[in-house]
Structure 1
Amino acid sequence: MKNLPPLKSLQVFLSAAQNNSFKAAAENLYVTQAAVSQQIRLLESHLGCKLFERNSKQTKLNEKGKLLMPYIEHAFEQINHGVNAVKFEPNANELRISALHSVTSILLIPKISEFQEKNSNLSVQFSPNNKLDTFEALDIDIAIRRGLGDYSGLKSRKLVEDSIILISSPLIIKENKNDIDIIFDLPLLEDTSSDIQEAINDCCKQFDIKRSRLKSRLKTTDALPIIQSALAGQGIAFVSKVLVDEHLRNGNLINVLNYYFDNPRSLYLVAPAHHFSWDKVKRFETWITKLLSI
């Protein structure tokens, strides 16, 4: 540790390297350009090598600087994570949830009033998003994602075991819900996500139906319009069972052919590990786990 250069010079190096500019680094750090140059000279003196190529038009990393850059970038990221891990819970009265569009619309928004009644001190905000690069950029507290639970640098907790089923409105199946010829001649409301496609191929194989026989009326990766169209009687669809459980219970949808496909992907709560120690996240986890276990 004694051989490390001053932390300030490393911070200045990182800003200058990321911006390819001493001037921009000075503006970002609220110091003068001369102060930036001084810190870079101090670092180069400590290391015994130059880190930047300088000319009248541009400042950029040389080979030594390029070699050092990812190490310093990673080190500051780790410092930031460590500081966040021991900080008090931020915005204790606000819960910001990032969830898939379908999960937000189908599972959360219709039921969130139940959570808020029990947690009246919390203001809940939704950020429908299918990506995970939102925790720092949007101050997200917790995310719900569908996958295998392997999210690099993040902790995940499985919410529910899931399967993919074949559904339709009882309006178009009626008494023919076991008639394979009638069912597979109906329009397919097709989710093009990889796990749904695996289920479609499995179902065709199980019932000895050629995949080319299925005619798609709608194609999308968003489960919401698929389910809405199925409810309107516009065709059959392969969907995540957890998204339609309530519609199955009240008879708005039926499980056609009693078909199930064991899906390796499921819904997970995902966040930086220290978020799970926050009281507001614990309360939401308890509520959403109970909701999905019904």
Structure 2
Amino acid sequence: MHIPLKALRFFMLAAQQGSFKAAAESLFVTQAAVSQQIRILEGSIGCQLFDRHGGKTVLTTQGELLLPYIVQGFNQFEQGLASLSQSSNPNELRLTTFHSLTSLILIPNIDQFNAAHPDIHIQFSPNNKLDDLASQNLDIAIRRGKGNYVGLESRKLVDDDIVLVASSTLIGEEPPKVEQLLSIPLLEDTSDEYQKAIVQFLAKCKINREQLNISLRTSDSLPLVQYALAGKGMAFVSRALVSNFLADGTLIELLDYRFETEHALYLVAPSHHFSFAKVQHFERWITKLVAQ
């Protein structure tokens, strides 16, 4: 049986990202090209790997059975290549993480890492999606999630929850009451997890959504935090992203509200990347940083 390696790779990425479109974007090809390679693979092995209905694409039982073997195979390829090239770039750490963590945590503190490891240069690749580390030639990622990334090792950095915050200059010295919050603009995160936090908050405070004074809506945490810091409203945000601002009093928690979540910050990479000296140095540094 001849199965094109290209088709196997397209299948793996489509399965990992749960979308032909997302796989196409990471591969810099069209969605039609991904569909074609999946059809070639399904024809070669004689079974259907994806169910396509209602605009969604999910793995069939056969697809779920096949995926771990394909991931393991490509990891073996990558490890073999890494064994040849690991020393070719020991002084450049290629890191991807989401925009808000890059801007709010890494860049403001990166001088500490540079001072401790002047021979290692960090190359940032901000991206709100989990890049295919191999194809993008990346060493490691930091992600906020549940740590279940197929074919990759995840190491928890810190647990997280969602808190309601605002600038101390906006709130003043006296903690506001619930009715006072209704006049403060809400900087709303439209992501599912944050919407659940808002729903819980409304129920707890016995207020209606229509009473909220919404001034900005986005699924990107970075502008929400930036607007909150500028005193333009209150926002439900990840505590991990704003812990330094809470510590220095720039932002304050409102009503001691917090929404417990299963999400945490993780270091994510193929297992063998954690044996790289540059990755080990970065892991020790970032672990200490977020613990503070």
Q: TM-score, normalised by structure 2?
A: 0.75
Within 5 A, what are the aligned runs for 1:56-135? 65=44, 67=46, 74=70, 77=74, 79-84=76-81, 86-87=83-84, 89-90=86-87, 91-135=89-133
Q: How much does 1:224 deviate? A: 1.1
Q: Distance in 1 between matches of 2:106 and 2:6?
A: 44
Tell me the amino acid that sits aligned with residue 242 of structure 1: A
Within 5 A, what are the aligned runs for 1:282-293? 282-293=280-291
Q: Distance in 1 between matches of 2:6 and 2:177?
A: 68
Secondary structure, counterpart of 1:120 in structure 2? coil
Instruction: State the Cα deviation string for residues 86-143 of structure 1 (Å, max 9, x = none).
Output: 4462411110000100000000011111101111111110000112233122211010
Q: How much does 1:146 deviate? A: 0.7
Distance 1:110 1:65, change over 3 A: same
Q: Distance in 2 between matches of 1:256 and 1:168?
A: 7
Q: Distance in 2 between matches of 1:175 and 1:136?
A: 51
Q: Report what 1:50 is aligned to.
A: none
Question: Contact between 2:143 and 2:266, CA under 8 Å: does it hold in 1?
Answer: yes
Distance 1:273 1:211, change over 3 A: same
Pick aligned residue for 1:137 from 124, 129, 135? 135
Secondary structure, counterpart of 1:162 in structure 2? strand
Number of positions where the alignment pairs a residue of Structure 1 with one of Structure 2 = 242
Moved more, 116-125 or 81-90: 81-90
Q: How much does 1:285 deviate? A: 0.6
Within 5 A, what are the aligned runs for 1:1-294? 14=4, 65=44, 67=46, 74=70, 77=74, 79-84=76-81, 86-87=83-84, 89-90=86-87, 91-294=89-292
Q: Report what 2:13 is aligned to.
A: none
Question: Contact between 2:143 and 2:268, CA under 8 Å: does it hold in 1?
Answer: yes
Q: Distance in 2 between matches of 1:62 and 1:96?
A: 32
Q: How much does 1:16 deviate? A: 8.9
Instruction: State the Cα deviation string for residues 229-269 of structure 1 (Å, max 9, x = none).
Output: 11111111001111111111222111111111212111110
Q: Distance in 2 between matches of 1:285 and 1:214?
A: 41
Question: Contact between 2:75 and 2:270, CA under 8 Å: does it hold in 1?
Answer: no
Q: Distance in 2 between matches of 1:85 and 1:206?
A: 52
Distance 1:170 1:161, change over 3 A: same
User: Percent sequence identity over matched residues?
Assistant: 43
Gaps of 5+ in 1: 19-59
Question: Contact between 1:164 and 1:238, CA under 8 Å: does it hold in 2?
Answer: yes
Instruction: State the Cα deviation string for residues 150-208 of structure 1 (Å, max 9, x = none).
Output: 00111101100111111111222214423110112211101112221111111111111
Question: Contact between 1:176 and 1:182, CA under 8 Å: does it hold in 2?
Answer: no
Secondary structure, counterpart of 2:237 in structure 1? strand
Compute the RMSD of aligned alpha carbons: 2.7
Q: Report what 1:55 is aligned to.
A: none
Tell me the amino acid that sits aligned with residue 77 of structure 2: N
